[in-house]
Amino acid sequence: MPPVPTAPLPGFNPRVVCYFQTYHDNGEYISLLPLIENTSGATHVILAAIHINGEPHDLRLNDDPPDHPKYTQLWDEAMVLQDSGIKVMGMLGGAAQGSFARLDYSESRTDIPIARFEAYYCPLRDFIRAHNLDGLDLDVEEEMSLPGVIHLIDRLKADFGRDFIITLAPVATALMAGRPHLSGFDYRLLEAARGSSIAWYNTQFYNGWGGLHNTAAYDEIMRNGWRADKVVAGMLTNPRHGGSGYVPLELTAAVLSVLVEKYPDFGGVMGWEYWSSFPQVEKSWVWSYCMTLCMGMRRIRDAAIIVLMGRSLSSINMNAR
């Protein structure tokens, strides 16, 4: 069954979402502050990746505990971004397996006691509270039951309130009818059951799951009944970030210009990841700036115009950090 359609948000503007996982380069911390110092247009930063390990209290941000000294500057900057209007979220899961298997609880399952869910969930809850995160992105790349993900979403809303942002990060085929994906449950059924609790989907249009070299994959998702304001088009920001499917900026810009004209409530873009983003790998904020420009140019159809726009970026003060 298709998702239950509801009205788009009034006055909606496309999101510019930056995933951030590589926090250090050659031992030097990679600052997020240029996103606000250069008015990049970024709306959300998602910190990756939170992992729930075998021991319930062994919660990790990548390979280290979240309170490790290496993350001190990250948490300081997160507060600055929030004060500047950028929402800062965490990402749970991803390619590493196990986090969602440990949280996969439902009342109908007699083999998994609620105490097991609580043991693994409570450290996650406490971590979110300690760092005042604005939301949580559920990147379910392992088998999880539909009742299990519903239970997790309900618990997060109960603990953090209606303004807490919950997103999911499916591969693009997960939002297409009858196509293989990674999560184990049907996203159309999830949207029908808990769409009011899910802000949007950070949809992965890369690694063979659907591309952004044209609008075909996004169009197919729209034909399946999804709301455009809830489908954020995810892309790689550098061909070395996570596999295959990188689309050059000039072509991405042309595709986005079509999408924002075709779907006035287009959900926006997300980039994996912030570090070393094209077109200026030493100044990663420029990717967000370019995305903001692209989604504002509703009438652009010719990729050549985008190339000229790219050249005009040289007039920006690229010495800004």
pLDDT of 265 over the 50 cut: yes
What DSSP letter does each residue of 173-213 carry, written as one string?
GGGSTT---SSSS-HHHHHHHHGGG--EEEEE--TTS--SS
Per-residue pLDDT tens over the stretch 11-27: 558 999 999 999 999 99
Q: What pLDDT, on a 0 to 100 scale, did the predictor assign at position 13?
A: 81
pLDDT of 313 over the 60 cut: no
SS3 102: helix
| Reported confidence tier of residue 112, pLDDT bands at 50, 70, 90 | confident
Closest CA to 140 of 68, 203, 232: 203
pLDDT of 302 over the 70 cut: no
Cis geometry, peptide bond prior to residue 279 (ω within 30 degrees of 0): yes
**What is the extent of the structural domain holding 82?**
15-315
Q: What's the predicted TM-score (pTM) here?
A: 0.90
Residue 7 within a domain: no
Beta-bridge partner residues of 236: 272
Q: What pLDDT, on a 0 to 100 scale, did the predictor assign at position 301?
A: 37
Q: What pLDDT, on a 0 to 100 scale, did the predictor assign at position 300?
A: 36
CATH code for position 281: 3.20.20.80
| Reported confidence tier of residue 319, pLDDT bands at 50, 70, 90 | very low
Per-residue pLDDT tens over the stretch 202-222: 999 999 898 999 999 999 999
Span 161-184, average pLDDT = 92
What DSSP letter does each residue of 146-168 carry, written as one string?
HHHHHHHHHHHHHHH-TTSEEEE
Residue 20 within a domain: yes
Cis geometry, peptide bond prior to residue 273 (ω within 30 degrees of 0): yes
Q: What pLDDT, on a 0 to 100 scale, did the predictor assign at position 5?
A: 43
Q: How many domains does the chain have?
A: 1
User: What percentage of the chain carries pLDDT values higher than 90?
Assistant: 79
Span 61-77, average pLDDT = 97
Q: What pLDDT, on a 0 to 100 scale, did the predictor assign at position 109?
A: 73
Residue 8 within a domain: no
Per-residue pLDDT tens over the stretch 31-66: 999 999 999 999 999 999 999 999 999 999 999 999
Residue 212 within a domain: yes
Span 55-80, average pLDDT = 97
Residue 179 within a domain: yes
Query: Which long-range contacts does 33-38 make (Cβ < 8 Å, 24+ apart)?
Result: 33/77, 33/80, 33/81, 34/283, 34/284, 34/285, 34/320, 34/321, 35/81, 35/86, 35/285, 35/288, 36/80, 36/81, 36/84, 36/86, 37/285, 37/320, 37/321, 38/285, 38/286, 38/289, 38/320
The CA R_g of the chain, rounded to the nearest whole Å, is 19
pLDDT of 111 over the 80 cut: no
SS3 133: coil
Per-residue pLDDT tens over the stretch 238-263: 998 877 899 999 999 999 999 999 99
Q: Rounded to 5 degrees, what are φ and ψ at 29?
A: -65, 140
Tell me what the pLDDT averaged over the chain comes to: 89
Residue 229 within a domain: yes
**Which of 68-82, 101-115, 174-188, 287-301 comes out lowest in average pLDDT?**
287-301
| DSSP H or E stretch at residue 65 | none
Q: What pLDDT, on a 0 to 100 scale, did the predictor assign at position 122?
A: 98
- Pairing label, strands 44-52, 87-93: parallel
Residue 158 within a domain: yes
Residue 293 sits at the vertex; the CA angle it makes with 288 and 298, to the nearest 5 degrees, is: 135
Residue 4 within a domain: no
61 with 135: CB under 8 angstroms? Answer: no
Tokens, residue 293: 């420009």
